[in-house]
Chains A and B, each alone.
Chain A
């Protein structure tokens, strides 16, 4: 299972994205090579954690007993990559969103959770 060192999948309270050292392309899910230029040189950076919600689902059926209902969202980060996360509070497609790393229902893992960002 490919993971990025030091992000939420490793128990750290943050998202990380990868940035290609050669062409500046960025992405979220771990990759050995840049899908645009093929470079193997990349670094991890912490994104702002802000973006725009593009999709929300309220899930009523899960593989785990007691797992439903559960709400998930896709958020396009301001930096570009799309991140899947849980929904914290009310969030609809089109809303500005901000990520928080919150404990899962069982409290053992931190999961990216998106809430509506107050417009200032």
Chain B
């Protein structure tokens, strides 16, 4: 029993004042339903990701009412940055169990224009331990900077070793309509950008954006553009940084489950969407997955491994680092991009001969991991 991605909606990301969280969610949801060719009456379940701006108790019901949907099942979810793919995993479970024919998964928020930066920093710092970490004055950039420090030290690398990753993400975003940042950058620009939490600099960190994303997941294809969700996998090994095992964060476990369910290995994947909240995030995940040897993700980026025509086409929309990060929707953009690639609709950025893609998101401090394998439905 499988499931299909039948509708994809992704808005432009950026600083775009004038719309609230629900506006972004419903804009994206409308795009996804139109993409699937389905009316609101066909949606049996709605799953909505949290918005740190709206902070509503019942985000799925709120969106359903606005969209004119009266679903049999509706609920919100919170798994940090992994929420988008975790919602997809739950949607797959709902259609596999026949609880719904079509599930709408939606997220969006106006985090850039609707929330003060200090508020965003404080809200996100909750992923640290309230008694043992937050009182020390840390925040999310600090926690990832500690990961970066440990990574650079344990592999004997200098502070510039990760800089090629944000440069590659920006190169992808230059050609992507709707990306938050589209001006090319160089390694020198990354190293000259202001330090945020050393060794991480501003261009090692994703921006905060406004925007939304939505998917329709269905029991059966609705057109030739429908894609098979061939496998999903999750791993949740810790919450706090102090508990993280840098050699086993859960990334590889989640990927192994997803690929195993799809009956594939890494070699069968042609296009990748990997969570890249910071340069260190994507470096650690691609290495734990086995795409690059330990300590070599930056060197692989430098050598072109993650270009659209490289060995591992990665985040070809620009990722969180350059397409942008609008909360839960940020980690959904990777899936939207991989879907666009598998549908052959990415124009000049099109990866050639791609039949299968792998998308991975993490929440917290590499705390929650969800992997999804997408495949052209014709192969099923």
Contacts and interface: CB of A to CB of B under 8 A. Distances in A.
Nearest to A8: B132
B137 A67 contact: yes
Interface in B134-186: 135-139, 141-142, 145-150, 152-154
Contact of A93 (B118, B153, B241): B153
**Residue from B118, B129, B148 having most chain A Cβ neighbours under 10 A:** B129
B194 interface: yes
B3 interface: no
A64 interface: yes
B314 to A, nearest CB: 26
25 contacts: A2-B131, A3-B131, A9-B131, A29-B240, A54-B154, A55-B150, A57-B149, A57-B197, A59-B139, A59-B141, A60-B195, A60-B196, A61-B121, A61-B141, A61-B196, A62-B121, A62-B139, A63-B122, A63-B125, A74-B146, A74-B242, A84-B241, A85-B136, A93-B152, A109-B135
A57 B153 contact: no
Contacts of A84: 132-133, 136, 138, 146, 241-242
Interface string A87-117: 0000011100000000010000101100000
B150 A58 contact: no
Contacts of A62: 121, 137, 139
A82 B142 CA distance: 16
B101 to A, nearest CB: 40
B199 interface: yes
B130 interface: yes
B287 interface: no
Nearest to A67: B137
Contacts of A59: 137-139, 141-142, 145, 196-198
B137 A56 contact: no
Interface string B231-271: 00000000011110000000000000000000000000000
**Residue from B139, B146, B194 having most chain A Cβ neighbours under 10 A:** B146
A107 B298 CA distance: 42
Contacts of A63: 118, 121-122, 125, 139
B111 to A, nearest CB: 15
Q: Which label, helix, strand, loop or mixed, suits the secondary structure of the B interface?
A: helix
A23 interface: no
B142 A72 contact: yes
Contacts of B149: 55-57, 93
Interface of B: 118, 121-122, 125, 129-133, 135-139, 141-142, 145-150, 152-154, 194-200, 240-243
A93 B150 contact: yes
Interface of A: 1-3, 9, 27-30, 54-64, 67, 70, 72-74, 81-86, 92-94, 104, 109, 111-112
**Residue from A63, A64, A104 having most chain B Cβ neighbours under 10 A:** A63
Contacts of A94: 153
B130 A57 contact: no
Contacts of B146: 55-57, 72-74, 84
Contact of A74 (B132, B137, B194, B241): B241
Contacts of B138: 59, 72, 84
Nearest to B244: A82
A60 B201 CA distance: 10
A3 B199 CA distance: 31
A63 B152 CA distance: 26
A60 B199 CA distance: 11
Contacts of B200: 57
Contacts of A61: 121, 139, 141, 196-197
Given A57-B197, A72-B142, A28 B121 contact: no
Contacts of A83: 242
A58 B138 CA distance: 10
Contacts of B135: 9, 104, 109, 111
A86 B133 CA distance: 10
A67 B160 CA distance: 27
